[in-house]
Copies of this chain bind each other. A is one copy, B any other.
Amino acid sequence: MNNFHLKNYIQERKQMIDEHLDSLLPEPGGPSGKVVEAMRYSLSAGGKRVRPILMMAACEAVGGDFNKIMPAACAMECVHTYSLIHDDLPAMDDDDLRRGKPTCHKVFGEAIAILAGDALLTYAFELMTHPELLRAVNGDLVNEAISIFAKAAGVSGMVGGQTADILFEGKDVDGDTLAYIHGHKTGALIRASVEMGALLGGGKEAQVESLSRFGTALGLAFQVVDDLLDVIGDEKKLGKPVGSDERNKKATYPALFGIEETKKRAQDLKNNALDALVSFGAEADPLRAIAIYVVERDR
């Protein structure tokens, strides 16, 4: 694992995903071309591709060939992107910028942004039944992956977390509610990415279970560290102002438990994630490196 270069690995994977997204998405043009432009605009707005990279890495960890599941990896990025477009809308978080670029509704207007989000979410399920994927993977496994995906994205997952986040804004939030919001809003899709990769890669039940535990810990770690960086991070490295959670009266781990306790929590989650991988060999090194990076990062 010492010789594993995470930066190169992520760069390579990101490029593969970007190429597949470009070739798998519909082309603009025709009476509905505007919404395709909006879909492509937001998809190419500098996302880090964390979720599809995790799906590909989990597929490899169980000995699968990630090249065969690229439509599913792209589907995951479509759902993540739709959630950002809708979260940024004036009726939701009302954000004008996302990763330094104008948000979808700022460029295309609210109506097209709502439709582009709807279209990306729907397209994800079109991609989950893409002929390429159905040729490579048993139909029952694809059904199971779709079920995991829909549950993680919907009201019992991400949408549920976003709902709670909005309803509790500015209110006092206890540890349980905070865990619910984070576990659902961010955690559900991250765990689903890992589970789907393991499942579609042909993982055995015990492997999928271990990777599911890995995904749960990683998803929480991701959010805990995000909260932490918003308090103790370096604005220059982060490329965005810190302290926004406090200004927006968002419930966070540091606000609820203090900085030291939150740091400890992040380390514990990293260890939980790594523990879930003990039965895996070197094929899981990318997942290990990602877990360490997520917690040790300074941006």
A binding-site residues for B, Cβ under 8 Å: 26, 30-32, 34-36, 39, 82, 86, 89, 91-92, 109-112, 114-115, 117-119, 121-123, 125-126, 128-129, 134, 138-140, 142-144, 146-147, 149-151, 153-156, 159-164, 166-168, 177, 180-181, 184
Considering the chains assembled together, what is the distance between the CA atoms of A151 and B125 in angstroms?
A: 9
Q: What residues of B have a CB within 8 angstroms of the CB of A89 in the complex?
A: 114
- Asked whether B119 lies within 8 Å of A32 as measured between CB atoms, the reply is no
Cβ–Cβ contact A184 & B146, under 8 A = no
Contact across chains for A143 and B153 when beta carbons are under 8 A apart: no
Q: Is the pair B34, A153 in contact by a Cβ cutoff of 8 Å?
A: no
Q: Does the CB pair A114–B86 fall under 8 Å? A: yes
Contact B92 A114 (CB under 8 A): yes
Give the interface SS of chain A, mostly helix, strand, loop or mixed: helix
CA distance A35 to B157 in the complex (A): 12
Contact B126 A147 (CB under 8 A): yes
Interface centre among A31, A34, A128 (most CB of B within 10 A): A31
Residue of B31, B82, B118 touching A168 (CB-CB under 8 A): B31
- Give, as a whole number of angstroms, the nearest-CB distance from A92 to chain B: 5
Apart from A89-B114, A123-B150, A125-B146: 13 A-B pairs, beta carbons within 8 A: A26-B155, A31-B167, A31-B168, A31-B181, A32-B161, A32-B164, A82-B118, A111-B166, A112-B163, A112-B166, A115-B162, A128-B150, A139-B139
Min Cβ gap A77→B in Å is 16
Known contacts A31-B181, A143-B142, A177-B31; A155 and B111 CB within 8 A of each other: no
Which residue on B lies nearest to A153, using beta carbons?
B122
In angstroms, Cα B184 to Cα A201, docked, is 36
Verify A155–B123 contact, CB threshold 8 A: yes
Q: Most chain-B CB neighbours within 10 Å: which of A121, A138, A166?
A: A121
Contact indicator A150/B163 (Cβ below 8 Å):
no
Q: Out of B35, B147, B150, B177, which one reaches A160, CB within 8 Å? A: B35
- Contact across chains for A134 and B129 when beta carbons are under 8 A apart: no
Q: How far is the CA of A275 from the CA of B244 in the complex (A)?
A: 64
Report how far A143 CA is from B137 CA in the complex, Å: 12
Q: Which of B91, B114, B140 contacts A111 (CB 8 A)?
A: B91
Q: With the chains together, A176 CA to B144 CA distance in Å?
A: 41
Nearest CB of B to A50, in Å = 20
- CB <8 Å contact, A150 and B162: no
Residues of B contacting A153 in the complex (Cβ-Cβ under 8 angstroms): 122
